[in-house]
A and B are shown apart, each in its own frame.
Chain A
């Protein structure tokens, strides 16, 4: 196992760090001998005019995705916590968006949001709203990829939060019903606090996964138009693989910045789990 870890996680990671420190070109990849460049690649990336906006997009994309996935997922989890016929089946079926290959979801959303013949614009047209260039205008592209990402993330939030809800003993609710608490009060003063550990884990995992999101954005907008929906993940890919002349060094540098962000979130997650275990 240790060998496997070393070979398939540590070595590629090491190569990635190495990439980020050298001046690689396609030729040096084949022939070897890329000059050591120190932190030049990082300097290139950090001073690139695209860095600020890309970082901002990453933050907006992650924050908005998390917020909507979580609130909608929570609302659905609360609803499906009711007992009614078909509840189980529907909850299982709702997982489909999460299980679909991302390329499938992303292409479906591309078509739904298509400016000329997408269903979304057709529906907006019915209520008299002008068509929106969802994927091709810089003002909307980030919103569009967030919509698709939220849709994909809702089922995961729903299922995890629902399993958390089931762990809350029903006696607590019975007691509060005797005290005459209303539905809202029950949610705010019982459900929500008791669900806090599960919520925190859901949000942390969501954060780690959302930072990684690449497929959806790349397939729907390729980070464009004019980088208006580029995040660190798509930027890294574009630098490394998206151009005719790959810039592996800067690409790897961006990737490593991303990994630091994910690691910070990951450490938060582990610290949180530890603190839960101690209780």
Chain B
């Protein structure tokens, strides 16, 4: 661990190179989003957008804003619903030890493994009857199934770590179960709330399969469908397509920068049980 400075500088160099290689497609997406139509098929391709254009982004503003708004609403709704369901459930599993608790955790693990296409067909059949096909609440409900099992498992793991004494103290002070949950457990669990919200938002923002099966015929379509239709109708204007892609990636990038710590926690917590 006591590497000499030149040696570690060399490693930083290699690290930068590897990261650059990994992120090259992302760079290329950004580059193409600024490229003029007439340069799109240039040989060799322009590696930097020297004669850049903002046409792509103008097209996004013109055509994609409603899609972005829908995605934003669906994302927020999914986060709210996921938290409302997963936090109490996690608390119950961690602290109230209901009968069948372990079995429930087991089912939640399995639930995460169900392929999306199967859920989509099931939802389609159910929604058609209920008449909630192509509605925002319908899409929010479906998207919440992506994050709820993950949320419950994260909350259970985290809330098991809250010392029982803390909760007993609240009970001694005369707080009921609900109040203990609201004023003690939730504030203490802030980190796990951030992690779960983050992933709930990202997953619903990125969802394509539920969007295309459950909202594909409606007025409110999320951005993933916006891009999808764009590619289908318009495979000439790649700068506009890539500009939309860049805009659709902004939430992921922003969240990564703002909440780096929670992102890596979420990735590993999803895989390695502690």
Chain A positions within 8 Å of B224 at CB level: 101, 103
Contacts of B183 in A (CB 8 A): none
Q: Which residues of A contact B160 (CB under 8 A)?
A: none
| Interface flags, A151-168, vs B, CB<8A=1, else 0 | 100111001100110000
Answer whether residue B68 sits at the interface, using C-beta atoms and an 8 A cutoff. no
Most central of A107, A122, A236 by chain B CB within 10 Å: A107
CA distance in complex: A266, B108 (Å): 11
Contact with A92, one of B28, B144, B241, B260 (Cβ below 8 angstroms): B260
What A residues does B182 contact at CB under 8 A? Answer: none
Contact of A160 among B23, B120, B152, B271 (CB under 8 A): B271
Asked whether, in the complex, the Cβ of B208 is within 8 Å of the Cβ of A110, the reply is no
Q: Which of A105-137 contact B (CB under 8 A)?
A: 105, 107-112, 116-117, 119, 122, 125-126
Q: Say yes or no: B44 contacts A96, CB within 8 Å.
A: no
Of B5-13, B57-65, B167-175, B185-193, the segment with at least 4 beta carbons within 8 Å of chain A is: B5-13
* Cα distance A240–B121 in the bound complex, in angstroms: 7
Residues of B within 8 A of A119 (CB): 28, 45
Query: Among the listed B12, B202, B208, B245, which residue makes an inter-chain contact with A215, where contact means beta carbons less than 8 Å apart?
Result: B208
Complex partner residue of B43 from A90, A122, A155, CB under 8 angstroms: A122
| B109, closest chain A residue (CB) | A270
Given contacts A80-B15, A219-B228, contact A97 B110 (CB under 8 A): no
With A1-B104, A103-B208, A103-B224 as given contacts, are A262 and B113 in contact (CB-CB < 8 Å)?
Answer: yes
Proximity string of chain A (249-276) to chain B, C-beta cutoff 8 Å, 1 when within and 0 when not: 0011001101100110110011001000
Consensus secondary structure, chain B interface: helix
Contact A87 B15 (CB under 8 A): yes
CB B10 to nearest CB in A, in angstroms, measures 8
Instruction: Say which size band chain A's interface belongs to.
Output: 35 or more
List the A residue with the shortest CB-CB distance to B241. A107
Chain B neighbourhood of A85, CB < 8 A:
8-9, 12
Q: Are B3 and A84 in contact (CB under 8 A)?
A: yes
Chain A nearest CB: distance from B112 CB in Å? 8
Residues in chain B near residue A15, CB distance under 8 A: 121-122, 125-126
Residues of B within 8 A of A105 (CB): 25
Cβ contact of B209, chosen from A9, A95, A156, A215, cutoff 8 A: A215
User: Which residues from 138 to 155 on chain A have a C-beta closer than 8 Å to any C-beta of chain B?
Assistant: 151, 154-155
Return the contact of B271 from the options A79, A94, A201 (Cβ within 8 A).
A201
- Tally of contacts, chain A with chain B, CB under 8 A: 259
Task: Name the B residues within 8 Å of A98 (CB-CB).
Answer: 267
Number of interface residues of B (CB under 8 A): 86
Q: Does A93 contact B (CB under 8 A)?
A: yes
Query: Does B205 belong to the interface (CB within 8 Å)?
Result: yes
- Report whether B202 and A99 are in contact in the complex, using a CB–CB cutoff of 8 Å: yes
The distance in angstroms between the C-alpha atoms of A215 and B9, with both chains bound, is: 40
> Does A74 touch B at the CB level, under 8 Å?
no
Q: Name B121's contact: one of A92, A211, A248 (CB within 8 Å).
A: A248
B1-45 toward A: CB 8 Å interface, digit per residue (1/0)? Answer: 101000011011011101100110110110010000000110111
B85-123: which have CB < 8 Å to A? 85, 88-89, 92, 104, 106-123
A contact residues around B184 at 8 Å (CB): none
Our pick among B19, B88, B227 for the contact of A107 (Cβ within 8 Å) is B227
Complex CA–CA separation, A86 to B12 (angstroms): 7
Q: Judge whether B154 is part of the interface by a CB distance below 8 angstroms.
A: no
CA distance A219 to B74 in the complex (A): 22
Q: Report if A92-B126 is in contact (Cβ < 8 Å); known contacts: A82-B11, A97-B23.
A: no
A103 touches B122 (CB 8 A): no
The answer to whether A160 and B206 have CB atoms under 8 Å apart is no
Which residue on A lies nearest to B202, using beta carbons? A99
B248 touches A94 (CB 8 A): no
Contact partner of A11 (CB less than 8 A), chosen from B114, B122, B228, is B122
In the complex, what residue of chain A is closest to B267 when comparing beta carbons? A159
Contacting residues, chain A, for B109 (C-beta < 8 A): 266, 269-270
Q: Is A122 in contact with B121, judged by CB distance below 8 angstroms?
A: no
Contact B122 A16 (CB under 8 A): yes
A88 nearest CB across to chain B (Å): 9
A4 to B125, CA, bound (A): 18
Interface residues of A in 168-222 (CB under 8 A from B): 170, 198, 201-202, 205, 208, 211-212, 214-215, 219
| B interface, CB within 8 angstroms of A | 1, 3, 8-9, 11-12, 14-16, 18-19, 22-23, 25-26, 28-29, 32, 40-41, 43-45, 85, 88-89, 92, 104, 106-126, 128, 141, 144-145, 148, 152, 202, 205-206, 208-209, 212-213, 223-224, 227-228, 231, 238, 241-242, 245, 248-249, 252-253, 255-256, 260, 263-264, 267-268, 270-273
A-B contact pairs, 17 of them (CB 8 A): A4-B148, A5-B104, A11-B126, A12-B126, A15-B126, A84-B11, A87-B15, A99-B256, A103-B228, A103-B248, A104-B248, A122-B43, A126-B44, A159-B268, A241-B124, A252-B118, A258-B118
Given contacts A108-B245, A237-B117, 4 further A-B contacts (CB under 8 A): A19-B122, A94-B19, A117-B45, A215-B208
